[in-house]
Structure 1
Amino acid sequence: MNPLLKKVLANTSWLASEKVITMAANLLVALLLARSLNPEGYGSLSYLLAIIALVGPLTSLGLNAIITRELVNQPERNDAIMATASGFRLLGAGVGTALCLILAVTGWGLSGAVDQWAMAMLALANLLTAFHVIEFWFQAHVAAKAVARMRVSVIVLFSIAKIIAALSGAGLLLICGLFALEMACIGIGFMLIYRRAQGAIQWNELDASYGLQLLKQGFWLVLSGIAAVIYLKVDQVMLAQMVNREAVGVYAVAARLSEVWYFFATAIAISLFPALLKLKQTNPDRYQQRLQQICDVLFVAALVLAIGITLIATPLVRILFGQDYLPAAAILTIHIWGSVFIYMRALVSKWLIAEHLLAFSLVSHGLGALINIAANWYLIPLYGGIGAAWATILSYLVASYIAFWFASSTRPIAKVMTRSLLLPFTLGYRYWR
Structure 2
Amino acid sequence: MPESDTKGIFARQAVWMFLARSLRLLAVLFAGVWVSRYLGPEGFGRFSYALSFVALFSAIAHLGSDDILVREFIVRPEGVGTRTILGSSIILRGCSGLTMAIVALVSGAVVAGPHVMPLIIVFVLAGFAESLARVFEKYLEAHGLGRFLACGQAVAGFLSVSATCWAITQGAGIWFLAVTRGAESVALLILLAIVSLRALGGISFRVDTRFIGRVLRQSWPLAVTSVFVLLYMRIDQVMLRHYMGEASVGHYSAAVRLVEVCFFVPMVLANALFPAVLAVREDQGGLYRLRTQVLHDAMLWLGLAVAIGMTLLARPMIVLVFGKEYRAAAPVLRYYAWCAPLVFVGIVRGKWLVSEQLNRWQLLFGGSAAFVNVALNCLLIPRLGMQGAALATLSAQFTTVVVAPLAFSAVRPAALYAVRSASLIASGRRLLRFFLAHVADGRRASTEQGSSSCND
TM-score (norm 1): 0.95
For residues 230-285 of structure 1, the C-alpha deviation after alignment (integer angstroms, 9 at most, x for no partner) is 11111111111121010000000000001110111111111122111111111001
Q: 1:191 aligns with which of 193, 199, 202?
A: 193
Do the aligned partners of residues 53 and 429 (structure 1) sit closer, same or farther apart at CA in structure 2, a change above 3 Å counting? closer
Specify every segment of 5 or more residues in structure 1 that has no aligned partner in the other structure, as ranges.
none
- Identity among equivalent pairs (%): 27
Amino acid across the alignment from 1:160: S
Do the aligned partners of residues 201 and 69 (structure 1) sit closer, same or farther apart at CA in structure 2, a change above 3 Å counting? farther
Alignment of 1:133-282 (within 5 A): 133-200=135-202, 202-203=204-205, 205-282=206-283
For residues 154 and 11 of structure 1, the distance between their equivalents in structure 2, rounded to whole angstroms, comes to 19
For residues 428 and 257 of structure 2, the distance between their equivalents in structure 1, rounded to whole angstroms, comes to 32
Root-mean-square deviation (Å): 1.8
Q: Secondary structure at the match of 1:401?
A: helix
Amino acid across the alignment from 1:87: I
- Contact 2:62 2:96 (8 Å CA) reproduced: yes
Amino acid across the alignment from 2:207: L
For residues 385 and 44 of structure 1, the distance between their equivalents in structure 2, rounded to whole angstroms, comes to 16
Specify every segment of 5 or more residues in structure 2 that has no aligned partner in the other structure, as ranges.
434-456
Do the aligned partners of residues 201 and 336 (structure 1) sit closer, same or farther apart at CA in structure 2, a change above 3 Å counting? farther
- Contact 1:32 1:167 (8 Å CA) reproduced: no
Larger radius of gyration: 2
User: What's 1:130 paired with?
Assistant: 131
Moved more, 36-45 or 233-242: 233-242
For residues 427 and 119 of structure 1, the distance between their equivalents in structure 2, rounded to whole angstroms, comes to 45
User: What's 1:100 paired with?
Assistant: 104
Amino acid across the alignment from 2:302: A
- Contact 1:128 1:188 (8 Å CA) reproduced: no
Tell me, yes or no, if structure 1 residue 77 matches structure 2 residue 78. no
User: What's 1:28 paired with?
Assistant: 30
Do the aligned partners of residues 409 and 103 (structure 1) sit closer, same or farther apart at CA in structure 2, a change above 3 Å counting? closer
- Contact 1:39 1:325 (8 Å CA) reproduced: yes
Per-residue deviation, 1:400: 1.5
For residues 74 and 430 of structure 1, the distance between their equivalents in structure 2, rounded to whole angstroms, comes to 32
Amino acid across the alignment from 2:10: V
For residues 145-194 of structure 1, the C-alpha deviation after alignment (integer angstroms, 9 at most, x for no partner) is 11111111111111011122233332111111112222222222221111
Per-residue deviation, 1:218: 0.5
TM-score (norm 2): 0.90
- Contact 1:126 1:184 (8 Å CA) reproduced: no
User: What's 2:320 paired with?
Assistant: 319
Do the aligned partners of residues 125 and 201 (structure 1) sit closer, same or farther apart at CA in structure 2, a change above 3 Å counting? farther
For residues 91 and 254 of structure 1, the distance between their equivalents in structure 2, rounded to whole angstroms, comes to 35
How many residue pairs match? The answer is: 428
User: What's 1:110 paired with?
Assistant: 112
For residues 431 and 170 of structure 2, the distance between their equivalents in structure 1, rounded to whole angstroms, comes to 56
For residues 327 and 297 of structure 2, the distance between their equivalents in structure 1, rounded to whole angstroms, comes to 34
For residues 63-106 of structure 1, the C-alpha deviation after alignment (integer angstroms, 9 at most, x for no partner) is 111011111111761111111111111100001111222245x3
User: What's 1:91 paired with?
Assistant: 95
- Contact 1:122 1:176 (8 Å CA) reproduced: yes
For residues 78 and 322 of structure 1, the distance between their equivalents in structure 2, rounded to whole angstroms, comes to 50
Q: Secondary structure at the match of 1:142?
A: coil
